[in-house]
Amino acid sequence: MNILINSVVPDFTAQTTQGLISFHQWMGQSWTVFFSHPKAFTPVCTTELMALTRLRQEWEKRNTQLIGLSVDSVELDQQWLDDISAHLGQAVPYPVIADIDHRISTVYSMLPHTEYAPAIGQKTQRDYSNTRAVFIIDPDKRLRLSMSYPPEVGRDFGEILRVLDALQLADGQQVETPANWRPGEKVLVPSTVSTPQAEQQFGTVESELAYLRWIKAKPLDSTR
Ligand code: BEZ
């Protein structure tokens, strides 16, 4: 099933490293980053879980909860998270779903094409049982971004934070963000908004082309 941008994401109940959850209830009024990874105790996945843990304050600033998914058991995931926590000297704060029967991976299209499993070292097809999918879900439970990375490439969580900032700015101020935008930089007037309307809301509007108009948005907050 392909989950379309702006649709309400499928709900489910699942066992996680923090107990049984009902997904929509668990999300509450937060933004959510839902991510899958191939396998516990593997190198790329370990760097990803460490990176997500080190960014804890960044997720909190953005009212964003994280939840992972693997096809390993709760017990195995818990051993792995404990190991990472001990290594970092910092607890891994987010739950990991144990999707041992691929029930949720299938609904969220996290599984790769099964006939292709490139042989890297000693890894087998079992090692490729989930792609590195990422879903950003808003407080209305609507999908706002989805990405899928190959197993051998670790994700850039700076990009996920950047998209969260862009979405929160777009929702809050009805603006759009340009290519390679970073917080604090100029943003775009949507084509549905007239120049006088934009001037009323933001002050000066710079018209580079009739259909390419720039404004300075109000800052998200000084810490981003
Ligand atoms: C890894 O996390 O290192 C990994 C997992 C599955 C396939 C390839 C790499």
Q: What are the strands of the beta sheet with 187-188, ordered from one edge?
A: 187-188, 212-215, 206-209
**Residue 158 has which token pair?**
């700076």
At 130 the pLDDT is: 78
**What residues have CB less than 8 Å from 218, skipping those under 6 apart?**
173
C-beta separation of 96 from 19 below 8 A:
no
At 219 the pLDDT is: 87
Taking CA 32 as the corner, what is the angle to CA 83 and CA 39, rounded to the nearest 5 degrees?
35
User: pLDDT digit of tens for each residue in the chain (224 aa)?
Assistant: 689 999 999 999 999 999 999 999 999 999 999 999 998 999 999 999 999 999 999 999 999 999 999 989 999 999 999 999 999 999 999 999 999 988 999 999 998 876 555 555 555 555 556 789 999 999 999 999 999 998 889 999 999 999 999 999 999 999 999 999 999 999 999 999 999 999 999 999 999 999 999 999 988 886 77
Residue 3: exposure state from Cβ atoms within 10 A (0-12, 13-18, ≥19): middle
Q: How far apart are CA 58 and CA 131, in angstroms?
A: 25
- The pTM of this model reads 0.93
Just list the catalytic residues. 45
At 179 the pLDDT is: 98
Element spanning 195, H or E: helix 195-202
Our answer on whether the CB atom of 43 is closer than 6 Å to any ligand 1 atom is yes
Helices (H), 30-156: 43-54, 56-61, 74-88, 103-107
At 2 the pLDDT is: 85
> Ligand 1, residues 35, 41, 45, 126: which to mutate, most atoms within 8 A of Cβ?
45
At 7 the pLDDT is: 98
At 111 the pLDDT is: 85
At 115 the pLDDT is: 52
**8 CA distance to ligand 1 centroid (A)?**
30
At 151 the pLDDT is: 85
Closest by Cα among 1, 82, 92 to 41: 82
Q: Whose CA is nearest to atom 7 of ligand 1?
A: 151
At 156 the pLDDT is: 97
**Residue 136 has which token pair?**
């950003």
